[in-house]
Amino acid sequence: MEYIKFQEEIERYESLISTHTKVLDASTEDVTKELFRFLVSDDANKLKHITYGTLLQVLYISSDDVVEYTKLVKAVDLLSSNKVPMLEMRFQFIENDHADAHKVSPEELHLALKSGRYYHPESGEVVEAFEEKIYPYFERSNELKKIQELDKK
């Protein structure tokens, strides 16, 4: 019974994706559905921290392929919107390749962008060119978690 509900939810969201991609950009429908199918999979369920790099890898898209990369960005945009709420966008500060990531709240980011200053979360010092060190990442939305739970029952 739960598996039937799971399949119904998959079909409902794929229909929503078709509807919205036809309005926004029909060329992104396949990538968006492929990304959605990945997000409801067991493999995605193991991920707590989803980045564009992760999504490029799982969808076998080269970061050099501007056309496919653009489609991925548009797919993520739709899947992190209120229209098809599968992902929640978050931000992190990474000073360099050897530094730990620090979560940045939307309020902190807004203040930094408004003031032009971001303060290092450990030292408290102003970070030069902070815009180049704050990166988006995604977490599974509650809606996505509910769909994944149906698959486990």
Give per-residue pLDDT as tens, 59-82: 999 999 999 999 999 999 999 999
Pair (35, 95) in one structural domain: no
Pair (114, 147) in one structural domain: no
What dihedral angle (degrees, nearest 10) is formed by the CA atoms of 5, 11, 13, 18? -170
Pair (72, 39) in one structural domain: yes
* Residues belonging to the chain: 153
Q: Which of 48, 13, 6 has its CA nearest to residue 32?
A: 13
Q: Residue 99 has what pLDDT?
A: 84
pTM here is 0.86
Pair (15, 38) in one structural domain: yes
Q: Residue 149 has what pLDDT?
A: 86
Pair (56, 98) in one structural domain: no
Domain count along the chain: 2
Residue 50 bridge partners (DSSP): 138
Give per-residue pLDDT as tens, 113-122: 999 999 999 9
Pair (75, 104) in one structural domain: no
Token digits of residue 26 = 């029909």
Spatial contact of 138 and 87, defined as CB atoms under 8 Å apart:
yes
Pair (69, 117) in one structural domain: no
Secondary structure of the chain as H, E, C letters: CHHHHHHHHHHHHHHHHHHHHHHHCHHHHHHHHHHHHHHCCHHHHCCCCECHHHHHHHCCCCCCCHHHHHHHHHHHHHHCCCCCCCEEEEEEECCCCCCCCEEECHHHHHHHHHHCCCECCCCCCECCCHHHCEEEEEEECHHHHHHHHHHHC
Pair (16, 63) in one structural domain: yes
Pair (16, 50) in one structural domain: yes
Token digits of residue 127 = 């970070």
Pair (16, 67) in one structural domain: yes
- Say if residue 123 is exposed, middle or buried (CB neighbours under 10 Å; 0-12, 13-18, 19+): exposed
Pair (82, 16) in one structural domain: yes
d(CA 146, CA 141): 9
Pair (96, 66) in one structural domain: no
pLDDT at 2 over 80: no
Give residue 109's domain range.
90-134
